[in-house]
Structure 1
Amino acid sequence: MADIDEIFTRKDMTFEEAVSYFKERVPVTAAKFYAIAEEYRGLAFTVSGYTKAQMLKRFYDELLAAMEEGNTLSEFRANMNEFLEAEGYEGLDPLQADNIFRTNIQTAYNVGHYEQMTDPDVMQLRPYWMYDAVNDSHTRPSHLAMDGKVFPADSPIWDTWFPPNGFRCRCTVRTLSKRQVEQRGLKVETSFPAVAPDPHFSSNPAKVRFEPDMKDYPEPLVKAYQNREKERMGV
């Protein structure tokens, strides 16, 4: 799997499907985020420890800049820390910045990847998907248990086990043709595994669209969301 830094820090490349997905996300407070039904959380956006709408909006803008303009993790952290410290907050430590940056960008990347994988022509030529975990000391046991498992592309397993399946998850899904499955002697699974994704990561963000209750949101955020929806719908 390509490293996130390679995917999103090239100034000459924008992963359009990923950017399109991220633009649909709505900044919400952590309290609202965890009140949302789990299957819709993929299109909400929050950062633990921050509750003010303008703070969440700045996080959102900096992450979007990473995808659209190729800003690096270091640039993200520096820009956020300058803003946070000016507002009287402590800056992000390296681990916190890395967690926020990688989890959100990996989610957007995998949603964009899903949109490509589910193209009808691709589905016809490559009707099987294989879960691919990174086999090293940082891989979680539940994710490692899924590594190499093959399911039909239209299996409901992908409603639950489509990466990221946890904070800083590095897993991905690969497409396979029928010939590849046969040549490699791979088993096509038909039953759900006993293991489960990490808490709050058991849904496929590419398959749902979040419709928030905006009545308690600041007016600028409501207008921004409404304008974005109009753009998405071509109104």
Structure 2
Amino acid sequence: MADLEQLPPWNKPFAQQLAFFKKKLNLPSERWDDITRQAHDKAFIVAGAQGADLLTDLHNALNTAIEKGTGIQAFRKEFKQIVQKNGWTGWTGEESAAKTAWRTKVIYQTNMTSSYAAGRWKQLNNPELLKALPYWQYKHNDSVTFPRPLHQSWNGLTLPPDHHFWKEHYPPNGWGCQCRVVPVTKSTFMKAVANGRGPADAPPPGNTEGIDEGFNYAPGANVDMSLAQVVQDKMITYPRAISRALSKSVNNRVLANESIPNAVEELKNNLEANETLFLGFAEDPDRLREVIKESDYYLTKNQTTEPNLNHLMLVVNSDTIRHVENSHGQDGNNVDDKTKRVQIPPAPEDYAKLPLIVNEADAIVRSAQEIRKERSTVTPVVKFQKEIDGVMYTAVMEVLHGKKNRSLSLITMFIRTVW
């Protein structure tokens, strides 16, 4: 069998592959299948690794391997150092040198192939490329020692990019799979159809025979799925320290995310948009619980249990963004007669500061305004205040604590100078 380091694509990194892998969130896990399918587009896991520092080191090691093409031997050396540094024990593969070699190969190869495939997905969907090469062709790597017969049977299938086949059969399609996809011309597509390798010859939708468990998805096709969907339910089952570390990791990602202001600007200007924008997680449920314990929520007859305030999502919907713009978009000329403070119109960049405003608030107070959902259900409203660079931010948020919708939803936001 060809040496692992010499097989494409692992020693030929490219920008789209690197960008995909860098954006992944470190997610603690116990088993390799703690998350499956599309969730891998958002989360980086190594089965059994739960410490934040451990996951960061492993993520960085693989990121270096992708960026510099250093190869599996360099990764194995760094893996050994990371394990020793973090005191990680009890992991599958530590029993012997042979098992360690197997485990490091799985970690390395799986991340390299999936990130490569995701980068290729980004490339293949480039509009200019699609104009010139509008069809995709499945390619089996004939150099593997033990080829999978069904993977071989898909070799040469040539289909439109939106064909159902790619949603489940876009490679890799299993552990160690080295199949790939190449773009081709319309004439190549017509030849493939004539040779029995066109759409009529693809497996029917839902037929995933020949695909290993957890691989029946297209890496890179789901990078826009909600990060909240991936992690919120899992945080409930984690130990408190790990959950808080994960919350901080998500929030740091949000603060560094340049796409949030762009998304806010788009929703503000699109009057027909009806979307909810995820901005992070609340990190301190105890502080929030203390603030709302005297709210009318506890005085209603039908509320017999405390609300679940753990790991509430921070969200803002498009209607609120437009409300803030209509109510405070011209605040730059407003001066409070008593305090002489100048009110500042919120900018799209200010929405990305909400995790900081909520989780490091200088003050949290219960609003006198509480939202009544029907007659007997009350939703508490809380004000978060935070001074940042001489400016006081106030975020008024509704506390939603249902089973399916657990979040702090922004009602309005205003900003004033503190001098």
The TM-score by the shorter chain falls in which range?
A: 0.7 to 0.9
Letter in 2 for 1:29: P
Q: Cα distance 1:172–1:152, how it changes in 2: closer, same or farther (>3 A)?
A: same
What is the distance in 1 between the residues matched to 2:110 and 2:69? 16
1:130 aligned counterpart, secondary structure? strand
Bigger relative contact order, structure 1 or 2, given CA contacts below 8 A and separation 6+?
A: 1
Match of residue 188, structure 1, among 184, 189, 198:
198
Cα distance, 1:167 vs structure 2: 2.1
2:59 corresponding residue in structure 1:
60
3-state SS in 2 of match to 1:113: helix
Aligned to 1:30: 29
User: How far did residue 196 of structure 1 move?
Assistant: 4.6
* Contact in 1 for aligned 2:72/2:108 (Cα 8 Å): yes
Q: CA deviation at 1:26?
A: 1.2
Asked if 2 retains the 8 angstrom alpha-carbon contact of 1:152 and 1:188, the reply is: no
Deviation at 1:76, TM superposition (A): 1.1
Change (3 A) 1:149 1:34: same
1:112 is aligned to 119
Q: Number of paired residues? A: 229
1:31 shift after superposition: 4.7
Paired residue type of 1:103: T
Hey, which of these two has a bigger chunk of strand by percent?
A: 2
Max Rg structure: 2
Q: 1:151 maps to what in 2?
A: 159
Alpha-carbon spacing, 1:67–1:109, altered in 2? closer, same or farther (3 Å): same
Q: 1:108 to 1:26 in 2, by over 3 A?
A: same
Query: What does residue 171 of structure 1 align with?
Result: 179
Tell me what 1:101 maps to.
108
Alignment-mate amino acid for residue 161 of structure 1: H
CA contact (8 A) 1:42 1:204 kept: no
Deviation at 1:173, TM superposition (A): 0.6
TM-score by length of 1: 0.83
**One of 140, 144, 165 as aligned partner of 2:148:** 140
Distance in 1 between the 2:217 and 2:244 partners?
A: 25
1:70-81 pair list within 5 angstroms: 70-81=69-80
Cα distance in 1 between the residues matched to 2:191 and 2:149: 28
Q: 1:222 to 1:119 in 2, by over 3 A?
A: closer
Structure 1: gaps (5+ residues): none
| Residue 35 to residue 82, structure 1, CA distance change in 2 (3 Å) | closer
Task: Determine if contact 2:5/2:71 at 8 Å carries over to the other structure.
Answer: no
CA RMSD after TM alignment: 2.8
**Structure 1 residue identity aligned to 2:82:** F
Q: Given that residues 103 and 167 in structure 1 are in contact (C-alpha distance below 8 angstroms), is that contact kept between their aligned partners in structure 2? A: yes
Question: Aligned to 1:127, which of 130, 134, 137?
Answer: 134
Q: SS of 1:207's equivalent? A: coil
Shift of 1:168: 2.2
Q: Name whichever of 40-49 and 168-177 sits farther off.
A: 40-49
Letter in 2 for 1:192: P
Structure 1 position 4, deviation (Å): 6.2
